Chains A and B, each alone.
Chain A
Amino acid sequence: MVLEIIVMVKQVPDSQEVVIDPVTMNLNRSLTRNVTNRADENALEAALRLKDSVGANVTVVSMGPPQAETTMIECLARGADRAILASDRFFGGADTYPTGLTLAATISKIGKFDIIIAGEETSDSSTGHVGPGVAEFLDIDQVTYTSKVEYKDGYVIAERELEDGTEVVKVPTPVLVTVLLNSNVPRRQTLRRKIDAIRKGFEVWDHDRIGLQPEWVGVRGSPTIVRRMRPIKERERAAKKIELSAVGDLVKELYEKNVLKLEVDS
Chain B
Amino acid sequence: MAGIKPATPASKPEEYKNVFVYLETRDDRLLRPALEMIGVGKKIAEKVNEKLYCILLGGNIRDQAKEAVSYGCDVVLGAESPALATYRTLPYSHIIADFVKEEKPNIFLIPATRNGRDLASRIAVRCEAGVTADCTEIDVEQDTRILLANRPTYGESMLAEILCKRHRPQMATARPGIFPVPEKVKSAKGEIRIREISPDKAILKKEILEYRKKNVVDLTAAKVVVSGGMGLGKPDGFKLIQELADELGGVVGASRPAVDMGWISRDHQVGQTGQTVRPRLYVAVGISGKIQHIMGMKNSETILSINTDPNAEIFKYSDYVIVDDLYKAVPALIQEVRKYKSEKQVAPTEPS
Taking beta carbons and an 8 Å cutoff, which residues of A are in contact with B? 15, 18, 20, 25, 27, 95-98, 100-101, 104-105, 108, 120, 125-133, 135-139, 141-145, 157, 160-172, 181-182, 213, 215-217, 221-232, 234, 237-242, 244, 247-248, 250-252, 254-255, 257-266
Contacts and interface: CB of A to CB of B under 8 A. Distances in A.
Nearest to B24: A163
B165 interface: yes
A145 B9 CA distance: 31
Contacts of A137: 2-4, 125
B4 A105 contact: yes
A129 B131 contact: yes
Interface stretch (B60-68, B154-162, B192-200, B234-242): B154-162
Contacts of B332: 244, 247
Interface in B314-352: 315-324, 328-329, 332-333, 336-337, 339-341, 344, 346, 349-350, 352
A239 B4 CA distance: 53
A177 B138 CA distance: 30
Q: Is the interface of A mostly helix, strand, loop or mixed?
A: mixed
Nearest to B122: A136
B211 A136 contact: no
A247 B61 CA distance: 52
Q: Is the interface of B mostly helix, strand, loop or mixed?
A: mixed
Given A166-B214, A169-B209, A224-B131, 17 more contacts: A20-B157, A27-B154, A100-B121, A139-B3, A144-B118, A165-B212, A215-B6, A223-B130, A226-B160, A228-B161, A237-B303, A239-B316, A240-B321, A241-B320, A248-B339, A261-B223, A262-B344
A164 B260 CA distance: 16
A129 B316 contact: no
Contacts of A133: 121-122, 124-125
Contacts of A251: 333, 336-337, 339-340
21 contacts: A15-B155, A95-B130, A97-B124, A101-B4, A120-B273, A126-B272, A138-B4, A142-B118, A162-B115, A165-B212, A223-B164, A223-B167, A224-B163, A228-B160, A229-B161, A238-B320, A240-B319, A260-B248, A260-B281, A261-B249, A264-B352
Contacts of B248: 260
Contacts, number: 273
A141 B207 CA distance: 12
Contacts of B164: 223-225
A20 B158 contact: yes
Contact of B131 (A96, A237, A247, A258): A96
A51 to B, nearest CB: 24
B321 A242 contact: yes
Task: Return the 3 tightest CB-CB contacts between A and B, nearest first.
Answer: A223-B130, A127-B133, A129-B121
Nearest to A27: B154
B318 A244 contact: no
Nearest to A215: B6
Interface residues of B, number: 104
Contact of A254 (B7, B213, B281, B349): B281
B161 A167 contact: no
Nearest to B302: A259
Nearest to A237: B319
Contacts of B159: 229-232
B6 A213 contact: yes
Interface in B72-95: 89-90, 93
B210 A167 contact: yes
Contacts of A95: 130
B327 to A, nearest CB: 12
B208 A167 contact: yes
Task: Identify which of A143, A157, A226 gathers the most chain B CB atoms within 10 Å of its CB.
Answer: A226
A172 B336 CA distance: 58
A227 B158 CA distance: 13
A104 B119 CA distance: 18
A171 B206 contact: yes
Contacts of A264: 249, 349-350, 352
A142 B346 CA distance: 54
Contacts of A252: 340
A157 B126 CA distance: 26
A113 B211 CA distance: 29
A248 B113 CA distance: 41
A225 B162 contact: yes
Contact of B2 (A96, A138, A170): A138
A260 B346 CA distance: 14
A106 to B, nearest CB: 10
Contact of B205 (A142, A171, A265): A171
A228 to B, nearest CB: 5
A78 B299 CA distance: 41
A264 B303 CA distance: 20
B40 interface: no
A136 B125 contact: yes
A65 to B, nearest CB: 18
B224 interface: yes
A264 B341 CA distance: 13
B6 A132 contact: no
Given A97-B124, A259-B302, A260-B281, A165 B214 contact: yes
Contacts of A230: 158-159, 161
Interface string B255-296: 011001000001100001101000011000000000100000
A255 B318 CA distance: 18
A221 B6 contact: yes
B28 interface: no
Interface string B1-25: 1111111010000000000000000
A237 B284 CA distance: 15
